[in-house]
Structure 1
């Protein structure tokens, strides 16, 4: 089974890939010989906010190929794996494999963690990461290598099947804490113990965020000793 861990860096949050990279995980082993990356001409200016994150400038990509010219090199895997896969899937041309989201898997597997960003998980889980020299966080290949190590840990610790990982990917994210209201910052478990009626009330509110609704139902149903 070939899982292709993939990452993109972009002009902004709406469109325009400026860099794409991948590395493969064959069943349970990371294949470091498979890593690849390309600068991409986005045919639009890179926003200052984006440059401040990934440090890729317009001059660095102006002579690079278009995404259509390189995307075939990233096809051919059984699954594509990305951290916050909804973003990368939205940015990329249509691919020929389903996406697995390590962000959603990590939120489900380790709900107690303060953050589920790639770099936080790298250090919180003490991942065995061998990042490329000369790169830094928020460069596509660097992030791919971190995500590959994270995905390997998720597979090892969870025992989830591919079908189960796809199901979690296609569900709303599981949150551990409320991010608003009078119980902001408290875990759903704490609120459940202190005032379960508040969570029930929230479920009845119109336009409730899908992640919050999913999380309330999950933690209300979960049994504790």
Structure 2
């Protein structure tokens, strides 16, 4: 049996998530570890920062696209985009052509790796 453990860090007692983390726990051990920072759209309380050490700068939104290194979903989950572009570029082309809700960062990253960067 596998259990998924999920943890969040917040801005303080009034909510506002700044980090989401999870892992899968089974008899085989720990797998599928992930952690993502989230811009809460509100200030992070000093008391909260003292506990989790996540600062405003760490969650600041940038207008520049971010180059992602791996997929977090699908049949190649956890593999690097560079590896997938070499082994199965048709899959990345399929993602670009068929998934309408790709984030700007993922769309940018797929194009980056497919165009031989």
Q: Which of residues 104, 108, 111 in structure 2 aligns to 1:214?
A: 108
Relative to the length of structure 2, the TM-score reads 0.54
Gaps of 5+ in 1: 1-8, 20-38, 40-49, 56-80, 87-168
Gaps of 5+ in 2: 1-9, 17-39
Q: Which of residues 76, 81, 89 in structure 2 aligns to 1:183?
A: 76
**Deviation string, structure 1 residues 78-116 (Cα, Å, up to 9, x no partner):** xxx922312xxxxxxxxxxxxxxxxxxxxxxxxxxxxxx
Are the structure 2 counterparts of residues 189 and 54 from structure 1 closer, same or farther at C-alpha, using a change threshold of 3 Å? Answer: same
Whether 1:172 and 2:69 are equivalent positions in the alignment is no
Matches within 5 A, 1:13-162: 13=16, 14=40, 15=42, 17-19=44-46, 54=51, 82-86=57-61
Whether 1:198 and 2:91 are equivalent positions in the alignment is yes
CA shift for structure 1 position 187: 0.7
**Deviation string, structure 1 residues 35-86 (Cα, Å, up to 9, x no partner):** xxxx7xxxxxxxxxx69x827xxxxxxxxxxxxxxxxxxxxxxxxx922312
Relative to the length of structure 1, the TM-score reads 0.30
CA radius of gyration, larger in: 1
CA shift for structure 1 position 10: 2.3
Q: Distance in 2 between matches of 1:179 and 1:210?
A: 15
Aligned-residue RMSD, C-alpha: 2.8
Structure (1/2) with the larger strand percentage: 2
Q: Distance in 1 between matches of 2:45 and 2:57?
A: 17
Equivalenced residues, count: 78
Are the structure 2 counterparts of residues 199 and 172 from structure 1 closer, same or farther at C-alpha, using a change threshold of 3 Å? Answer: same
Are the structure 2 counterparts of residues 18 and 200 from structure 1 closer, same or farther at C-alpha, using a change threshold of 3 Å? Answer: same
